[in-house]
Amino acid sequence: MLLSERIEQECTMGESRRRKLSEPSYGKRPQGGRGIMLVPFFHENGTRTETAMAANLCAKQLRFGLLFWDRIAWPSLPYFLNGENGDTDFLSSAGVLLRPEIQLRPTSMSVGKCLAEAYFRAFQELEEKEPGRWSMSAETEADIKTILGDHIASDRGITVSLHRAIPIPTGDTPLQDLLEFKQKREAELLRLRAELDGCKQLITGYTDRAEAFATQRDRIDAACRDLLVVSREMKLPVRIADISMAFEVNGTGIAATAAAVASLYNNLNLTSVQTFLASLGLFAATNMKFTTTFGTKKSLIRNSPFRYVHHLHEELDWC
């Protein structure tokens, strides 16, 4: 090993030890595991809200949830088709998929808004039972906004986005293969999740945020690249994807984050990921982005991202 590589490794190990001392949850899976509640696709059509609630869960969204979280919640509502299929049956039998039952309240609201309100209550109940362990995932921000409805508070959060940086399993990836990948590559998955969660501390806990953001950018860059590398080693069929995660913060945190990001505006590229993708013949800009966003009137999650949205790009060819 070269001297420079050894020094870098020792510095990284020192940083890991420091974070374990200052962040008791760093690199650890909470008891019971972290969970994601999948939000269905909602479509606004004038004053009417239509939803794909009765349809099966999107195969790609289901695999996204399975890769990065320990448990998946998909609320069960009366009077609507459950939409079970081979995927949901398998994950239920494996103890990964939860079906919390939510009763629909008598209301004069439209069917779509009634469903959205029920989904919001489902998330509240999950979070109340296990504070800080649950997040929401949807394919668009609009779907999240539909679920939150009147609970939205503007300028209450920071969204951290990674562009063309995350591998997401294709919709036809066998679930058993994905579970085996998680078991064998748990270290890489937990590391990436820990580094993404670490963005919250950047927003709220540092004086010199510009320097801290630069350090965290490099750590996230390395974690994303490592996950791509092991995906290739195990021939896991994936597509390169964007991922956005939103943290709820106060006004002071938002202002300080905006100032720190401004100083790094032209230096947010994820160079390790970009170099790796270039080796596969995929030449595309890969970067981080921080933007102000909405939150909720009453913060739902304080220590981890509240919601995730992802967007898929090209399927990666490991041949």
Please write the tens of the pLDDT for every residue from 66-80. Answer: 999 999 998 887 766
> What is the DSSP code string of 178-229?
HHHHHHHTHHHHHHHHHHHHHHHHHHHH-SSHHHHHHHHHHHHHHHHHHHHH
DSSP 101: B
Integer-rounded Cα Rg, in Å, for the chain is: 20
pLDDT band at 119; cut points 50, 70, 90: confident
Share of the chain above pLDDT 70, in %: 72
- Position 188: which residue type? E
pLDDT the model gives residue 222? 96
CA 171 – CA 60 distance, rounded (Å): 4
pLDDT the model gives residue 24? 41
pLDDT digits (tens, 9 = 90+) for 181-224: 999 999 999 999 999 888 877 776 655 667 777 888 899 999 99
Domain residue spans of the chain: 31-315
CA 250 – CA 19 distance, rounded (Å): 23
Contacts of 79 (CB under 8 A, 6+ apart): 104
CA 155 – CA 248 distance, rounded (Å): 9
Ramachandran region of residue 120, left (φ > 0), alpha (ψ -120 to 50) or beta? alpha
pLDDT band at 107; cut points 50, 70, 90: low
- Position 149: which residue type? G
> Terminus-to-terminus CA distance in the chain, angstroms?
29
pLDDT digits (tens, 9 = 90+) for 143-179: 888 888 888 888 777 888 999 999 999 999 999 999 9
In this prediction the pTM is 0.81
Task: Give the other-Cβ count within 10 Å of 285's Cβ.
Answer: 9
